[in-house]
Structure 1
Amino acid sequence: MSETENLTVPTYYSAIDWNSIEDSIDKYTWEKLTSQFWLDTRVPVSNDLDDWRKLPQLERDTFAKAFAGLTLLDTLQSVDGAEVLKHDARTPQEIACFNNIQFMESVHAKSYSTIFSTLNTKKEIEELFNWVDTNVYMQTKAEIINKIYESGTALQKKVASVFLETCLFYSGFYTPLLYLGNNKMINSAEIIKLIIRDESVHGTYIGYKFQLGFNELSEDEQSEFRDWMYELLYKLYENEENYSHLLYDKVGWTDEVLTFLRYNANKALMNLGQDPLFPDTAADVNPVVMNGISTSSSNHDFFSQVGNSYLLGEVEAMSDEDYDI
């Protein structure tokens, strides 16, 4: 061996070693995320055209605007949300998981365009994107979350992400799930179920990482942070109430949407290891919507292979033992 082959220098950039795992949840989450890989082009959305043509115009308008709102939120997550979380990662494997999450958020955002291009005219699509890009409640929601991404602490960013993915998305998810529960628009709703399956992993994983940092705070710091967290949720929920009234009052679904939203707000808090805020439970949610979520679900726990399991108890705060490999 020559002398040059023995030369060493201080490490400038470290290789990621998946055989040396500091946090086993990173490896388990990576395996879960990759096992769930999907693309919108594999779902035959065109099979929904017959159902679409039979829907009243008001319901078609509501359906399309709900999906436009979801497009904005997933765009925010794919461009900024997952990106900023990588900057505060504890392990290199965590960064890899967020790379996967960021890519799938882009898949989610694109999948709505696949639905639009199948169901809507070019003019309608342009009007939808103009509507969501200028809607006061959608823009308020995006601004609140993104300002935290831009200037919040590591823990605040994780809270914003979990609130967005585990709570705020669901005012938009309600519509396709309602139709699915009534055996309509099945393929469009299947895309939503695939997205929900992804978001369930994202919310639980990010919530777990949040809890690691939160548990390192003193009791006083935890109390102060908890006040901030609940104040943020109140602020987001108030805006979401206004958005839901705008979107759903004409079709008469607003009260049921808000119940669904509050139930998912509790799920978000439990992902973060916090107590639920609202009295709403799964029993209060429209059973047709819950049936839509559970249809064809093949899993019974968070880390099962490819299912869509959703119920509150299955995504509540977890300990290391719950992730036992």
Structure 2
Amino acid sequence: MTTNYKAINWNNIEDMIDKLTWEKLVEQFWTDTRIPLSNDLDDWARLPKNEKDMVGKVFGGLTLLDTLQSQDGVQSLKQSIRTQHEEAVYNNIQFMESMHAKSYSAIFSTLNSKMEIDEIFQWTNTNELLQIKAGTINEIYHTGTDLQRKVASVMLESFLFYSGFFAPLHYLGNNKLPNVAEIIKLILRDESVHGTYIGYKFQIAYNQLPDNEKEELKNWTYDLLFKLYQNEVKYAEYLYDEIGWTERVKVFLRYNANKALQNLGFDPLFPDTANDVDPVIMNGISTGTSNHDFFSQVGNGYLLGMVESMENDDYEKWTV
């Protein structure tokens, strides 16, 4: 007996957030080839050697995490889809995570020699702290429950990337490497939608659990976050101690750890708020993309729109 294959019908939407998120991600589509990275070569030449080394490692780490998300993370989330439209959104997210990983190679190929690139990837693939971070998330993707996998994905999208994002945002605020920062801002806007959407899907399923299972999963989430944070502090110290940025990075990490919890519908763990983060960094996050007007809305400060701006209160309107 054969089962009829069901065509996806975008005229019959079961969850309007799927449609809104799809439209937002399509509106935000970009590619690394549209950013004139070579215009940053003069700034790059003036950076001291220790900062160049830090930047290479930062982007190597980000490449690893985007590779993990594109190859294992999003695929694991597809195992618990509720609608065909949700799977379509995950397909879009998966592609853009691959785009993010590729964009770092575009940065490397512009700023670094082949030997330097090989050294960066050798470091990336062997650094203990980075491998602990990736390994912790990947284990959950392969052995965790459906909801645990969503938690891990939100932790990656909304928290673990940000130790790496700090450096280019710092340079942007000091009028250096603006085109490298342009790519990071494009990635940031994607990750914001990804983390918000996956957190929304988590909340739908979480709210249907009995109270004892809710409490158990919440405690597991906080334990995971604190474990990741402890490793992330060591990673930040490794990257930034010599340059003197570490304490500012730690504040930024705690702020984004709270944002990850917020996306999941949980209370913050740390006292840090946006007011505690270096205003130069916060300005880099909030400022629209600069002047690369490739399509009508892609480069020139394309609107964040409805999905990214949604906080927990907005999601409750659709959560049953």
TM range (shorter): over 0.9
Q: Match for residue 187 of structure 1?
A: 179
Aligned residues: 308
**What are the residue-to-residue correspondences of 1:277-288 with 2, within 5 Å?**
277-288=269-280
SS across alignment from 1:250: coil
Relative distance call for 1:16 and 1:35 in structure 2 (3 A) is same
Q: Match for residue 157 of structure 1?
A: 149
Equivalent position to 2:96, from 81, 99, 104: 104
**1:212 partnered with 2:207:** no
Relative distance call for 1:308 and 1:288 in structure 2 (3 A) is farther
SS across alignment from 1:174: helix
Distance 2:120 2:214 in 1: 42
Distance 2:304 2:244 in 1: 28
The Cα of 1:316 is off from its aligned counterpart by 3.2
The Cα of 1:151 is off from its aligned counterpart by 0.9
Q: Match for residue 121 of structure 2?
A: 129
Q: TM-score, normalised by structure 2?
A: 0.92
Q: Match for residue 294 of structure 2?
A: none
**1:36 partnered with 2:25:** no
Distance 2:317 2:51 in 1: 42
| Conserved? CA contact 2:43–2:177, under 8 Å | yes
| One-letter code aligned to 2:312 | A
**What are the residue-to-residue correspondences of 1:264-303 with 2, within 5 Å?**
264-296=256-288
| Conserved? CA contact 1:159–1:272, under 8 Å | yes
Q: Which runs of 4+ in 1 moved over 6 A?
A: none
Identify unmatched segments of 5+ residues in structure 2.
291-296
Q: Match for residue 247 of structure 2?
A: 255
Q: TM-score, normalised by structure 1?
A: 0.91
**What are the residue-to-residue correspondences of 1:20-169 with 2, within 5 Å?**
20-169=12-161
1:276-304 CA-partner distances (Å, limit 9, x unpaired)? 11000111111111122223369xxxxxx
| One-letter code aligned to 2:208 | E
**1:317 partnered with 2:309:** no
| Conserved? CA contact 2:186–2:289, under 8 Å | no
Distance 2:141 2:312 in 1: 23
SS across alignment from 2:184: helix
| Conserved? CA contact 1:267–1:315, under 8 Å | no
| Conserved? CA contact 1:148–1:157, under 8 Å | yes
Instruction: Among all aligned residue pairs of Structure 1 and Structure 2, give the percentage whose two residues are the same amino acid.
Output: 63
The Cα of 1:317 is off from its aligned counterpart by 1.8
Identify unmatched segments of 5+ residues in structure 1.
1-8, 299-304
**Could you say which structure has the greater relative contact order, defined with CA pairs below 8 angstroms and 6 or more residues apart?**
2
1:95-122 CA-partner distances (Å, limit 9, x unpaired)? 0000000000000000000000000000
| Conserved? CA contact 1:294–1:308, under 8 Å | no
1:157-199 CA-partner distances (Å, limit 9, x unpaired)? 0000000110010000000000001111000000000000000
Q: Give the CA RMSD over aligned residues.
A: 1.9
| Conserved? CA contact 1:197–1:308, under 8 Å | no
| Conserved? CA contact 1:271–1:315, under 8 Å | no
Distance 2:8 2:90 in 1: 14
